[in-house]
Structure 1
């Protein structure tokens, strides 16, 4: 029986041959599975048992700051080698041989540059750009419809009506901010979709306050509130769905996980 210790942010590549008959149990902290395409899989908490044979999992990660440990048992007492020769898959991690204690436990440290997944981030950014364009079109069309129904969008403090291109510009700006927030959660959060959803809903609620402060007429206030909700209805589901797919894609292909 061996103990694999993952310090905060550490990543250790999985060599399939070494895990063929191995069964692991998380005894401390949390361990996240990194799937074969670089996407992040489920996060296993304490007492979660798993085996990796045939799953395609390519690495184990510690998504938190606290040290995580995994007890590893192998059939017939066969041991998992302490280190493996560098390969294109294992170049992104290193095992500190000097940190091995007398019991033969292995301690993995995070590399100076943490593993990045540019393909996942680019995919999310691409979805974000498309959603931003859709939100800009939707709010502009909704504003044009409201104006056709008699809403003047006049702001008393400025003395001028908001032009239609102004709705597209404002929607585009705040939509890009939302995309950046989603990218940050995908990069640094173990639960990006849930965290983004809560944050986006909170920010949307806050954005409903300014229309009441401009002292516009009732029709304009209602229309502005509606435009905020139109943009949110386009952006939030699109980004949340994309985050969920990128964080959990391939989980259905992982077998042999209990207590997750």
Structure 2
């Protein structure tokens, strides 16, 4: 069973005659299809299967720095059940997508890592803002907001964002687009309370920044994951 190894950033032209009756599966890294007009096509992650004969795809490219490996089956399956399953999951580009459960597990893992990164970045930014003069005191709100509170709130809403992404992946035909618009809208709405809370300028500015920092981590990360077949 031959394999195709792509170094980071490497591009390999597709020769139509060599891909006749060939089916491939990404087993490591990611592979991007270059369409017939030269435009970038779908990015395929691990376990994504595809064939290229008759699709017009003209090249395969590794969009990442780490290596990617594609396993190629050069003889078509004679198992009717396998053929039927493959055709059932095939889209117009000649791609067989991984199962929904596999994609959701991958999304959850990505969301967890991004959540931890967002919590760390937000807490660090809050500490720096406090050292720079933001007291985080809200009028009529009692005691100043403690630094651990930023981590807890960031973690909670980051998990909520991951749940929204998983729900859209499961039930929406365009999960990445809908997730992007939904989360950008929610982020914009979340900026209203700091603006009307009546805190001093340093605290208001810091609170707005602390809303935007986790958003800039979570939204692009989960959107890219939702776009990966």
What TM-score, normalized to structure 2? 0.59
How many residue pairs are counted as aligned between the two chains?
156
The answer to whether the 8 A contact 1:127-1:239 is kept is yes
Q: Report the CA distance between 1:237 and its aligned residue.
A: 0.9
Deviation at 1:53, TM superposition (A): 5.4
Aligned twin of 1:144: 127
Change (3 A) 1:234 1:160: same
Mark the CA change 1:210 to 1:40 in structure 2 (over 3 Å): closer, same or farther.
Answer: farther
Q: Is 1:223 aligned to residue 210 of structure 2?
A: no
| Contact in 2 for aligned 1:38/1:117 (Cα 8 Å) | no
Deviation >3 Å, runs of 4+: 35-41, 51-55, 84-90
Matching residue of 2:222? 239
Deviations 1:102-155 (A, max 9, x none): xxxxxxxxxxxxx95211110011000000000000000000000001110011
Q: CA RMSD in A?
A: 3.2
Given that 1:157 and 1:214 are in contact with CA atoms closer than 8 Å, whether structure 2 keeps it comes out as no
SS of 1:153's partner is: coil
Q: Which runs of 5+ in 1 are unaligned?
A: 1-19, 21-34, 42-50, 56-83, 94-114, 248-260
Q: 2:160 aligns with which of 169, 177, 185?
A: 177
In the other structure, the counterpart of 2:175 is: 192
Give structure 2 stretches of 5+ with no counterpart: 1-20, 22-43, 56-78, 89-97
User: What is the TM-score when the length of structure 1 is the normalising length?
Assistant: 0.53
Q: 1:38 to 1:54 in 2, by over 3 A?
A: farther
Q: Does 1:164 pair with 2:147?
A: yes
Aligned partner of 2:187 among 194, 204, 211: 204
Q: CA distance change for structure 1 residues 54 and 140 in 2, over 3 Å: closer, same or farther?
A: same
Q: Which has the larger radius of gyration?
A: 1
Instruction: Give the whole-Å Cα distance in 1 for the aligned partners of 2:215 and 2:170.
Output: 22
Match of 1:132 in 2: 115
Change (3 A) 1:188 1:39: farther
